[in-house]
Amino acid sequence: MTAEQRRNLHAFRDYVRKILDPTYILSYMTPWFRDDVVQHIQAEKNNRGPMEAASLFLQLLLELQEEGWFRGFLDALHQAGYSGLYEAIESWDFQKIEKLEEYRLLLKRLQPEFKTTINPEDILPEISGCLINQECEEIIQISSNKGLMAGAEKMVECLLRSDKENWPKTLKLALEKEESKFSELWMVEKGAENVQMKDLEDDEMKTLDVQIVYKEEPENQNLSQNSCPSSEVPPTFSPLKPRNYQLELALPAQEGKNTIICAPTGCGKTFVSLLICEHHLKKFPQGRKGKVVLFAVQLPLYEQQKSVFSEYFERFGYKVSGISGVTADNVSVEQIVENNDIIILTPQILVNSLKNGTIPSLSIFTLMIFDECHNTNKHHPYNMIMFNYLDQKLGGSSDSLPQVIGLTASVGVGDAKNTAEATEYICRLCASLDTSVVTTVRDNLEELEEVVYKPRKFFRKVESRTTNKFKCIISQLMAETEALAKSIFEELGTVTLENLSQIQNRNFGTQKYEQWIIAVQKACMVFQMPDKDEESRICKALFLYTSHLRKYNDALIISEDARMKDALNYLKNFFRNVRAAGFDAIEQDLTQRFEEKLLELEGISMDPSNENPKLKDLCFILQEEYHLNPETRTILFVKTRALVDALKNWIEENPKLSFLKPGILTGRGRTNQTMGMTLPAQKCALDAFRTNRDSKILIATSVADEGIDIAQCNLVILYEYVGNVIRMIQTRGRGRARGSKCFLLTSNADVIEKEKMNICKEKMMNDSISSLQRWNEAVFKEKIRQIQIQEKLIRDNQGKVKPVVDKKNKKLLCRKCKTFACHTADIRVVEECHFTVVGDAFRECFVTKLHPRPKNFGSFEKKAKIFCARKDCLHDWGIHVRYKTFEIPVIKIESFVVEDVATGAQTLYAKWKDFNFEKIPFDAAEMSTCSGPQFAGNGWP
């Protein structure tokens, strides 16, 4: 070893200390270290940790005088698996390792979340290549002996020491594969998550009608007369020849009429929109140009439409571009609209641009196309755009308005109970879109039916288990837990568990019971006592009891539709994580009660006589269909994400069905209990199902409202699943589609009746459309105009009614632990819709950790999340941002309880707009005396 190598190793020793666990390479260093030295290093690790052991190891290493030890050290690193460290020392280039530091810092900050959300046994196979073999063995052993949380903690320790430059990305892929909610926090590159952010706070999740879509490829590719398979794309472009029914659908729009086009999914409405758009752009005389905007509700549809329109129109010299929530911060909306002929938008982009004046008027466009136009109602962005349109129309503006086209497979009927009510509902949709024509295929029905086949539908009523010992035991545990909760109130003598919620006749193992639990938890948030410590104790106890009741209820729901084994595993996993987290006396008592019944529950769950009759029937259907057609491709719809996992395990463990090799697909939406599948994970699942012929079945929750295309299915099974189904089946291609089947399998007769009611409503909708198509056009237009005038009058009057401002000072308390946060007198409104708190006192009330998705929003730079400073709480309060030159917190009202200072009355608010306190505008001059550009708040504990 040269003196230069010795100096370099000493200079770079800090990198080595952070990565190397010397005990993993000591067996390769025996020629240079005596046994007592090896034991010394081992003891140092046991007593003070691997970093101190690495320091001792390097000290002893640099003192060696024997020849060859430096080469031996490098060989030992290579043999043990320290490939990154080996490469860095051999070249004396540590840049790759240096780049990992930001991910180490992020993982350290996210360690508490990692421990509570990650099952290390699930992701270890995917990330084992980033760890040392001995580390993998230790993680498995610790998970087995001490629980999953301890195993996750060990995994974090090992990742922090990893020298593999790809470990952050590998971890990301593993998390996405397992659909872990931690994936949303683990950001390995800017823009990794396709999340549309409308403002600085979390978006509100909205419940929409269920829409199920089955597609093979974008609609324009396979539905024209001269279409060819995607694998046989012609080398030169030739204009696509439309089918006759597509020309029929396009005709009223090409005549310049505002039109809703209602036609089955799979018939090629996208291609129809291309025909309309092309005709519209070509009709303008020389010197004038049209400008088209097409709206897509969800990101996957936006990407699909942008690709289709770009490919089609750029051949003719038209300029096509698009903006979504993902790209909006990086481009100028004004310039994109000005410089392109066709613009594809997610609708909130235009809503925001109209509000802030970036787009002064809809008159800039000559044609607007609304994909999935049935969404034009209530406060949907489509309706916000059309409010602007109708205000301009009814306000007597001389500016021209764009033509409006709506595309949908179903206009719906809302809550209509007869044809007259359905007709009124459709008229209101037409009024919202300012359309006086609803176009359907009438003259070319035979041609349409040759392209779009309706699947045969079968209803299967299955009996439930005659006896259910599993449910009896779990119900007993739930009754005991309820009794414990009731005993708390008996101490008080002022309120009972029953009158905390209005929900009555609740039964264990039902959605109604879960609603009761949620209602009780909300009631506890505003529960008050003179003794605040006692109030906190009671609220926390009730939170624990109701949380356990909710898990038991989940297990009963799983056992009703899947195996008892799956339900028991769900509970065992829950209690394993509770134990690993160091539970308190209440949790210890609840865990003991469960463990006392565990052996009996395990015996019941393994008894073949307790097999679920619904699973027997599902197995029969699948065996029969694959016997008739081994090439069958199936999608199995279920209600919950927990049931997706349970049925996947059942199929894989069933020797009669394991050949199906199931894939899974869940929605992107986040719930209080689970995290949705990320967009990349969804795409990965769909691509795998599309390309891997071994995977013959996809198990999914309802995902169609998110615009996801499901490929190549000719068998659909709705397993205890029914909704307001707007789109039933779309299978494309020839031969296979003709034999499509759809089974509804349920033990509940009401489910079958609801599905039959949906079929009746579909007929009611079609009859209503036919009736409207026979109306005189002038009469229809007048009907639409009267509805528009009435709706505008209501909107205008609602805008005039301003709530009375409550000027009394209020307290904001943490919604979880009731700790005081601030007074409303200290709250300031920033740019009309964001709320901050001034004064030094509030800074002591919260702690911060770096935001997983830092991002710029206009004058804001989102930097960190803020949490309640109480170590036993850490409730999410909002975010920390840089606003111009100031570092300020931005708080969420849904994180707090509002208490009246005078009366002590407490209230919950879901949105700031519902809280009518005196809103004082943000004043930079005021901030100069209480906040500077330094980062405020305390660090994450």
- The three-state secondary structure class of 701 is coil
| Residue 868 known to bind ligand | yes
Query: Which tokens go with 611?
Result: 């097999």
Query: Which tokens go with 222?
Result: 């396979």
Cα 175 → chain centroid:
14
List, in sequence order, every residue forming a beta bridge with 484; answer none if it has no partner.
none
Query: Which tokens go with 934?
Result: 């330094």
Pairing state between β 827-830 and 834-837: antiparallel
b (16+ CB within 10 A) / e for 325-352:
bbbbeeeebeebbeebbbbbbbbbbbbb
| Residue 713 known to bind ligand | no
Pairing state between β 820-823 and 320-323: unpaired
| Residue 873 known to bind ligand | yes
Coarse DSSP helix, strand, coil percentages of the chain, rounded to the nearest 5 percent: 50, 15, 35
The number of beta carbons lying within 10 Å of the beta carbon of residue 28 is 16
| Residue 814 known to bind ligand | yes
Pairing state between β 827-830 and 920-921: parallel
Query: Which tokens go with 774?
Result: 């026979």
Q: SS3 letters for 726-747?
A: CCCCCCCCCCHHHHCEEEEEEC
b (16+ CB within 10 A) / e for 767-786:
ebbeebeeeeeeebbebbee
Whether 80 contacts 24, CB under 8 Å: yes
Strand ordering across the sheet containing 634-637: 456-461, 741-746, 715-719, 634-637, 697-700, 663-665
Amino acid at 929: T
CA Rg value for the chain: 32
List, in sequence order, every residue forming a beta bridge with 229; answer none if it has no partner.
none
CA–CA separation, 159 vs 167, rounded Å? 8
Helix locations, 630-692, DSSP H:
641-653, 679-691
The number of beta carbons lying within 10 Å of the beta carbon of residue 716 is 23
Query: Which tokens go with 496?
Result: 């009972």
Angle (CA) 777 780 781, round 5°: 85
Amino acid at 611: E
CA dihedral in degrees (176, 180, 185, 191; nearest 10)?
20
CA pseudo-torsion sign 276, 277, 279, 283: positive
CA pseudo-torsion sign 601, 606, 607, 613: positive
Whether 818 contacts 881, CB under 8 Å: no
Name the DSSP class of 23: G
Helix locations, 728-842, DSSP H:
749-773, 777-800
Angle between helix axes 69-80 and 83-91 (nearest 10 degrees) is: 150
**Residue whose structure tokens are 């039902």:** 510
Instruction: Please spell the DSSP secondary structure of 258-293, one letter per residue.
Output: -EEEE--TTS-HHHHHHHHHHHHHHTSPTT----EE
CA–CA separation, 823 vs 839, rounded Å? 11
Q: How far is CA 146 from CA 93, 308, 345, 537, in A?
A: 39, 54, 51, 29
What residues are designated binding site?
814, 817, 868, 873
What residues are designated binding site for Zn(2+)?
814, 817, 868, 873
